[in-house]
Amino acid sequence: MLQLVEFLARNLVDRPEEVRVRERDEESGTVLEISVAPEDVGKIIGRQGRVIQAIRVLARAATSKSTGKRLSVEVIRSPQRDL
C-alpha cells in the first residue's frame, strides 16, 4: 500500500524527490503520512480536497480487501529548506 500511495504522490507533484511516505501503526489502524515540499501541498490536496480524497479511497479499497485493517492517509508538509 505504501508503494501505491508513494507512486501516486510522486506523479502529482513538481518535486517528486521530496515525496516521503511513512507508515505508522495505531490502535485504530494504519496511518500513511505523505510528506511533500511546501509548494506541492496544494497539488496533493487538490481543489476542495478531491485529490487527497481520491488517494484515500484507492488506498482504503486496496487495503480493506487484503488485510481487513483500517487505513488513513494524511498530508504533512516538509520543513522548508534554504536554497
Q: Please say if the pLDDT value at position 72 is more than 60.
A: yes
The H-assigned helical ranges of 1-83 are: 2-10, 41-45, 50-66
Percent of the chain with pLDDT over 90: 66
* 82: pLDDT strictly greater than 60: no
Q: Tell me: pLDDT of 79 over 70.
A: no
Q: What is the pLDDT of residue 28?
A: 82
Cell of 50: 478531491
- How many domains are there within the chain? 1
**Cβ(8)–Cβ(54) under 8 Å?**
no
- 3: buried, middle or exposed (CB in 10 Å: 19+, 13-18, 0-12)? exposed
Whether residue 39 lies inside any domain: the answer is yes
82 is a domain residue: no
Query: Does residue 80 surpass a pLDDT of 80?
Result: no
pLDDT of residue 42: 94
**Assigned domain for 70 exists:** yes
